A and B are shown apart, each in its own frame.
Chain A
Amino acid sequence: MSTTLDMTTTELREVNSTLQSAAKAHANEDYVITNPRGSHAMACGLDGPLSVVVKGSTGYYCAGMNKEATVTVEGSAGPGVAENMMSGVVTIEGDASQYAGATGHGGLLNIKGNASSRCGISMKGIDIVVHGNIGHMSAFMAQKGNLVVLGDAGDALGDSLYEARLFVRGNVKSLGADCIEKEMRPEHIEILKELLEKAGADAKPEEFKRYGSARKLYNFNIDHADEY
């Protein structure tokens, strides 16, 4: 039994406070949001187990700071979807705009379409699976977690990367500073296999290449002092 909130008659603020209270109550309820009309900050700040299905496209910062909840957008999401997500699952059936999953600490962000620029920027432990392509500067300064891309990656992938793992099946237009291709070891195949299964992605781990940090930017190199 699910509760439907229609956004032609219910204000965004009321929708979000209803969802946030339900999440906090840990009742594990199901909610359906109709007519989201591209609203900002839909279903953000959910702190507890709850299932939310949004019937349509959302604007900025949908499902931001999500913890434990499962949020599905049956449409496309605007900039900053699942920003700073902590845990739970956020699924976007369509495309996601720029900086999807930015600074995410945990959970799974599953994007069935494409994600545009800066996907996973400064990610800190989140797993992001993109079934389509990703734009430029993705995983910039990514620290921890996994970014899996079934399609292609744009320019400067993984620029100034820390210890996040990047798996790309298609072409990478260019790698960012200090990002290199790395050997795919059995443990990586295992991680990838599990993520692909979780995301319902139709791909084999062996088809992917792994990218990571060359760790050359970790420390100041005295030989480069005269370049500043």
Chain B
Amino acid sequence: MCGIVGLFLKKDELRPQLGDLLTDMLITMTDRGPDSAGIAIYGDEAEGSVKITVQSDTPDEAFADLDAAVCAAVDAPVTIKVVDTHAVLTLPEAVEKDAIAFLEEKGLRIMGSGASMEIYKEVGLPKDVAARFGLREMGGSHGIGHTRMATESAVTTMGAHPFSTADDQCLVHNGSLSNHNQMRRKLAKKGVFTRSENDTEVGAAYISSRIADGASLGEALEGTLEDLDGFFTFVTGTKNGFGVVRDPIACKPAVMAETEDYVAFASEYRAFADLPGIETARVWEPEPATVYFWER
């Protein structure tokens, strides 16, 4: 089992409430996945800049003067925002690759990067993870979250969802993939590498690699139905929106709700109970083997 939630706002007025709404949704899904939780949140973007989210088990040590060290390494201005075990470094897009290489060399774990996406994930109960990162206070245009009950890899920060394998792209998953090792090897031959042993990360890398090859988000999601074997309900986030696809057997639950203000996704209806206007929302179950996406 695992729990997935997603919220895509259609109106800017709700942006300050995004974190608050998503946090309630995430906590409701605790009994589907109590071992770790994570969220990808798409907030403000600065022109020409990129945000890199990193994690460390020893944040006091690792994040002290990290901005200055990165600044010296890539010779560009860097700002840092430390949030518990995570830090978000903002720097010019042109030096992103060098900065990531430097950070990885320093032993920091890369959670993701992008113009607007920040990723926060840790081991622990969703309510504790949400409190550590102050998820309630975060604003943004859309976000996706995951509560994990591990099957395919260890309960670690790197095994928690969301997984990001390209700028502003991330994936959360309920289910398990059975051909992930084969796909991991195939992708590695193309020069696409993953950072964990996790099956979902391979799914994320597959989607990113298809998009890098020129596919649209819709086409990349269609591709998962052909090329990935196993059970999945996927929710994928991009800078402009989010997409949903379920495998043809569709035994992993999924429900969606739409109002004039938002589109919401959850593993169960329970997660929608506190959303504004849910009583009159259009609520439906996404069809198997059918790609849905919303973009602004």
- Using CB atoms and an 8 Å cutoff, list the residues of chain A in contact with chain B: 37-40, 56-60, 76, 78-79, 94-95, 97-98, 116-117, 135-136
The answer to whether residues A78 and B283 also contact, given A38-B269, A38-B272, A136-B288 and a CB cut-off of 8 A, is no
17 contacts between A and B (CB under 8 A): A37-B273, A38-B268, A38-B269, A38-B272, A38-B273, A58-B269, A59-B270, A76-B283, A78-B255, A78-B269, A79-B253, A97-B285, A98-B253, A116-B285, A117-B251, A135-B250, A135-B287
Contact A95 B285 (CB under 8 A): yes
With both chains docked as a complex, state the minimum distance between the C-beta of A164 and any C-beta of chain B, in angstroms: 22
Contact A59 B284 (CB under 8 A): no
Residues of A close to B251: CB separation below 8 A = 98, 117
- Using CB atoms and an 8 Å cutoff, list the residues of chain B in contact with chain A: 248, 250-251, 253, 255, 268-273, 279, 283-285, 287-288
Contact B288 A135 (CB under 8 A): yes
Tell me the bound Cα distance from A135 to B246 in angstroms: 14
Instruction: Add 15 more A-B contacts to A39-B270, A76-B283, A117-B288 (CB < 8 A).
Output: A38-B273, A56-B279, A60-B268, A94-B283, A95-B284, A95-B285, A97-B253, A97-B255, A97-B285, A98-B250, A98-B251, A98-B253, A135-B288, A136-B248, A136-B250
With both chains docked as a complex, state the minimum distance between the C-beta of B4 and any C-beta of chain A, in angstroms: 15
Tell me the bound Cα distance from A58 to B270 in angstroms: 8
Q: Output the nearest chain B residue to A97 by Cβ-Cβ distance.
A: B285
With both chains docked as a complex, state the minimum distance between the C-beta of A6 and any C-beta of chain B, in angstroms: 14
Leading 10 A-B pairs by shortest Cβ distance: A38-B270, A38-B269, A37-B273, A57-B269, A116-B285, A59-B270, A59-B268, A117-B250, A38-B273, A97-B285
Residues of A close to B270: CB separation below 8 A = 37-40, 59
Residues of B close to A135: CB separation below 8 A = 250, 287-288
Residues of A close to B279: CB separation below 8 A = 56
Tell me the bound Cα distance from A95 to B271 in angstroms: 17
Tell me the bound Cα distance from A156 to B268 in angstroms: 26
Tell me the bound Cα distance from A153 to B288 in angstroms: 14
Residues of B close to A97: CB separation below 8 A = 253, 255, 285
With both chains docked as a complex, state the minimum distance between the C-beta of B77 and any C-beta of chain A, in angstroms: 48
Tell me the bound Cα distance from A139 to B269 in angstroms: 25
Residues of B close to A58: CB separation below 8 A = 269
